């Protein structure tokens, strides 16, 4: 099975999907799946070892089950940061899954590509059939659908007092991402108001999914189609600054610069320079904490980055001492994209480990800056604990 070369789906390392793992085990210290299960066959080094053996002697292994086992991955990318050789399991698995997409990839492709139709229907279904009515994996699935309900939001408790007028009428393109475009549309509306309040002229071109989750799932053709559509929409808008408020979307969008997307002269650099986090533009904003604020709020830092730390800086400035940030090497919400279909029990187990680490109590809240993390925590927090995107707690 040839795994060289491929485009980077997850990380911007611009190289090939290398599988020359030396089995040092450094990835074990950061892998959320291994941390939560203590099953070494689910670790990054085991996946590299398995896929390398498959590539060297395919006759000795059944390829489809081997890829299935190796594919039990959260696609968090922590392994690449810990690996002395910079190896990245999500990149490798994207290629391997492309050889055996199966029914899960088929369902995931349509779930993402037809989000505008399917997600609102799913949210309505979850209201009629709440998760507690169902046991096991089915209950978990209904909980995830309920997290897509636009009415399932935190009540704002941070009032914007003032914003720095840094826009001076500059046109900016807002990238909503799938969740804000098709489920939590209030996030997008609030982002537009905040940008307008800073003096920008925000527009929303005809963007598609960032494609990040599709690449992880091995859906290379669908991923490239959406990437090309997004570049075309940005180009048609005049190549403005591109503002996003989802960490995973920003990770996916940043990776475009290393892909062959029919770039015109100078466009790759322009695209890379255009990537902007909403929270970063809000530096210097002043807030008032309202009376309905929770006593403590935990900030969860997404695996895929958090706007260069802008989310945390802004929330610390706004919320003060009630904001709690706890760092953990192997912390992950457990969303995992395709893992939601392939092994939802593993996804829930990782979420449970994170919630145990945060030790949230009834009345507390968890906020984050990633759409996937938001959906995962909304679906898994204990009774009486709130969870949401940081835009939900801002009144603007």
Put simply, whether the predicted model's pTM sits higher than 0.85 gets the answer yes
Is pLDDT of 8 > 90? no
pLDDT band at 60 (very low <50, low <70, confident <90, very high): low
Q: Does position 5 have pLDDT exceeding 60, yes or no?
A: no
Is the pLDDT confidence value at 61 over 80? Answer: no
> How confident is residue 4, by pLDDT bands cut at 50, 70 and 90?
very low
**How far, rounded to the nearest angstrom, does the alpha carbon of residue 225 sit from its chain's CA centroid?**
20
For residue 174, pLDDT beyond 70? yes
Q: In Å, what is the CA distance from 48 to each residue of 35, 36, 65, 234?
A: 18, 20, 15, 37
pLDDT, greater one: 53 or 226: 226
DSSP H/E element including 323: strand 323-324
When mean pLDDT is compared across 35-39, 54-58, 74-78, 212-216, the lowest value belongs to: 54-58
Question: Measured between alpha carbons, how far apart are the two ends of the chain, in Å?
Answer: 53
395 HSE (CA, 13 A, CB side): 13
The dihedral built from the CA positions of residue 278, 172, 376 and 349, taken in this order, carries a sign that is negative
- Pairwise CA distance, residues 377 & 146, whole Å: 11
Q: In order of start, what are the domains of the chain with their CATH numbers?
A: 26-100 (no CATH), 165-281 (3.40.50), 286-395 (3.40.50.1860)
In degrees, rounded to 5, the angle at the alpha carbon of residue 144 between the alpha carbons of residues 143 and 147 is 90
Local confidence band at 134 (pLDDT 50, 70, 90 cut-offs): low
Per the model's pLDDT, the better-predicted residue between 80 and 51 turns out to be: 80
Q: The tokens of 234 are what?
A: 């940005």
Strand partners, 160: 287
DSSP letter (8 states) at residue 166: -
For the four alpha carbons of 310, 315, 318 and 322, in that order, the dihedral sign comes to: negative
Which range, of 47-51, 107-111, 265-269, averages the lowest pLDDT? 47-51
For residue 59, pLDDT beyond 50: yes
How far apart are the C-alpha atoms of 75 and 309, rounded to whole Å?
Answer: 21
Q: What angle do CA 336, 190, 395 make, to 5 degrees?
A: 105
> DSSP of 343-373, one letter per residue?
-HHHHHHHHHHHHHHHT--TT-EEEES-HHH
**More reliable by pLDDT, 321 or 99:** 321
* Average pLDDT value for the chain: 88
From the centroid of its chain, how far is CA 283? Answer: 23
pLDDT at 131: 60
Can you state the angle between helices 115-128 and 136-147, rounded to 10 degrees? 120
Give residue 363's region: left, alpha or beta (phi > 0; psi -120 to 50): left
b/e map 167-204, b = 16+ CB within 10 Å: beeeebbbbbbbbbbbbbebbbebbbebbebbebebeb
Q: Which residues pair with 175 in a beta bridge?
A: 244
13 has pLDDT over 60: no
Between 58-67, 94-103, 197-206, 283-292, the lowest mean confidence (pLDDT) is in: 58-67
Structure tokens at 196: 């307008």
Q: How high is the pLDDT of residue 159?
A: 97
- Give the Å distances, CA to CA, from 189 to 164, 175, 176, 262, 291: 19, 12, 10, 32, 24
Tell me which of 61 and 154 has the higher pLDDT. 154
Q: What is the mean pLDDT of residues 102-111?
A: 88
Per-residue confidence (pLDDT) for residue 193, from 0 to 100:
98
Is the pLDDT score of 6 beyond 80?
no
The per-residue pLDDT for 162 is 96
Place 18 in a pLDDT band, splitting at 50, 70 and 90.
low
Higher pLDDT, 141 or 322: 322
Comparison of pLDDT for 361 and 130, the residue scoring more: 361
Instruction: Considering only residues 4 and 261, tell me which one the structure prediction assigns the higher pLDDT.
Output: 261
Interval 161-186 mean pLDDT? 96
What percent of the chain shows pLDDT beyond 70? 88
């Amino acid at each position: 099975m040839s795994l060289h070369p491929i485009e980077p789906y997850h990380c911007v390392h611009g190289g090939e999907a290398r599988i020359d793992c030396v089995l040092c085990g450094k990835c074990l210290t950061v892998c959320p799946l291994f941390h939560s299960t203590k099953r070494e066959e689910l670790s990054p080094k085991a996946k590299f070892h398995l896929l390398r053996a498959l590539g060297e002697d395919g006759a000795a292994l059944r390829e489809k089950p081997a890829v299935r086992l190796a594919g039990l991955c959260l696609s968090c990318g922590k392994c690449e940061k810990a690996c002395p050789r910079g190896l990245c399991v999500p990149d490798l698995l994207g290629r391997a899954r492309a050889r055996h997409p199966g029914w899960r990839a088929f369902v995931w492709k349509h779930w993402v590509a037809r989000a505008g139709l399917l997600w609102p229907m799913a949210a309505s279904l979850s209201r009629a059939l709440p998760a507690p009515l169902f046991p096991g994996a089915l209950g978990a699935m209904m909980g995830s659908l309920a997290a897509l309900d636009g009415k399932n939001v935190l009540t704002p408790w941070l009032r914007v007092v003032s914003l720095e007028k840094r826009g001076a009428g500059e046109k900016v393109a807002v990238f909503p991402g799938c969740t804000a475009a098709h489920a939590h549309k209030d996030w997008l509306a609030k982002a537009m108001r905040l940008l307008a309040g800073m003096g920008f002229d925000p527009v929303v071109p005809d963007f598609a999914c960032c494609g990040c989750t599709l690449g992880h799932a091995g859906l290379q053709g669908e991923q490239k189609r959406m990437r090309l559509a997004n570049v075309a929409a940005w180009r048609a808008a005049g190549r403005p600054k591109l503002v996003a408020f989802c960490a995973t979307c920003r990770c996916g969008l940043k990776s475009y610069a290393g892909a062959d997307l029919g770039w015109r002269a100078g466009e790759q650099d322009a695209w890379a320079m255009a990537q902007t986090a909403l929270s970063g533009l809000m530096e210097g904003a002043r807030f008032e904490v309202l009376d309905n604020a929770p006593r403590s709020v935990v900030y969860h830092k997404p695996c895929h980055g958090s706007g260069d730390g802008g989310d945390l800086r802004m929330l610390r400035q706004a919320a003060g001492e009630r904001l709690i940030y706890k760092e953990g090497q192997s912390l992950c919400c457990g969303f995992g994209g395709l893992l939601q279909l392939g092994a939802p029990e593993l996804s829930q187990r990782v979420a449970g480990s994170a919630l145990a680490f945060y030790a949230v109590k009834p009345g507390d809240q968890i906020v984050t800056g990633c759409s996937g993390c938001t959906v995962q925590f909304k679906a898994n927090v204990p009774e009486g604990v709130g969870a949401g995107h940081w835009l939900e707690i801002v009144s603007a």
